[in-house]
Amino acid sequence: MSRPEKPLVTVTIPMYNNERYIAETIESVLCQTMDDFELLVYDDHSTDQSLEIASSFADPRISVFASDRNLGPEENWNRAVSDTRGRYVKLLCADDLLFPECLEKQVSAFEETGMDGVSLVSSQRTIIDPEGKVLIKKVNFIDGGLKTPAETVRKMVRLGTNIIGEPVCGLYPASLIASTSGYSARIPYTIDLDFWMQLLRLGNLWMIDEPLCAFRISNLSWSSRIGEMRHEQFLAFMEEVAGDEHFQINDLDLFIGRFNSAVQSMTSLMGFKLFAGSTAEKRVIPVQ
């Protein structure tokens, strides 16, 4: 079946060995209250049944693409946004979920009068465990409404954590992709935040103050060494962001952020040890 010519939204899923969750993730997209979208699934040469499961859906809005070799997260994520036909794009990791009104409410935010200067719409998220049990109903580091790049990034640095959200949280105009350098895994833990920073150099953030999606914690062998990598990589990211005059980060922001990042790292480490499951942890070595 042919792809829609001009859908309003492109939802794109980079996927690698996600047979446990991919059907549920796809279903969460198909159950949207807004149906003007295409769904693209890019399989990165999975060795399990992921490709077969994704290909079993007969909905004409779905297109599944297979790779004849393993590209790795960075290349596959960029492949996933290389041929979008929608006005807006959402990249969705293959074990996360959209709540039914996610696309409708995020598109409405863009379509409202006075939103011309917005380059990214995000929402709060719910944290779930490998079985789908709610661990945190609403992660809320930033309130709703219009946020400038400087105030957003400064608050993120000071809190030492991702206040914008994972890829599942964001929706952005497809027209801006060409003005970015794409997804970069040079600091693997912040592959999504690096892309958000590129978008925030092009416009403002609009935050929807309700959870419209679910981010799944899923890791079997979470360890102290991985936890330290998380902290070190977020510190490297903060130092990099601080060097960009666009975001107006000062030495005090960095000092506070280094302390809070250590606290956030320890808290996350404890959470992953308690609740993580059997799939590869996507924030340090991103799951596709």
pLDDT tens digits, one per residue of 181-206: 999 988 888 899 999 999 999 999 99
271: pLDDT confidence band, cut at 50, 70 and 90?
low
Q: Give how far Cα 251 sits from Cα of 60, 93, 242, 247, Å.
A: 52, 34, 9, 13
SS3 assignment, position 35: coil
Domains of the chain: 1-95 (3.90.550.10), 97-280 (3.90.550.10)
Instruction: Give me the chain's average pLDDT, please.
Output: 88
SS3 assignment, position 62: strand
- Within 8 A by CB and 6+ apart from 215, the residues are 96, 125, 126, 127, 128, 165, 166, 168, 169
**Of 138 and 277, the one with more pLDDT:** 138
pLDDT at 226 over 80: no
Report the relative pairing of strands 62-66 and 37-43 from DSSP bridges: parallel
- Within 8 A by CB and 6+ apart from 85, the residues are 3, 4, 5, 6, 7, 10, 38, 174
Q: How many CA atoms does the CB half-sphere of 232 hold within 13 Å?
A: 8
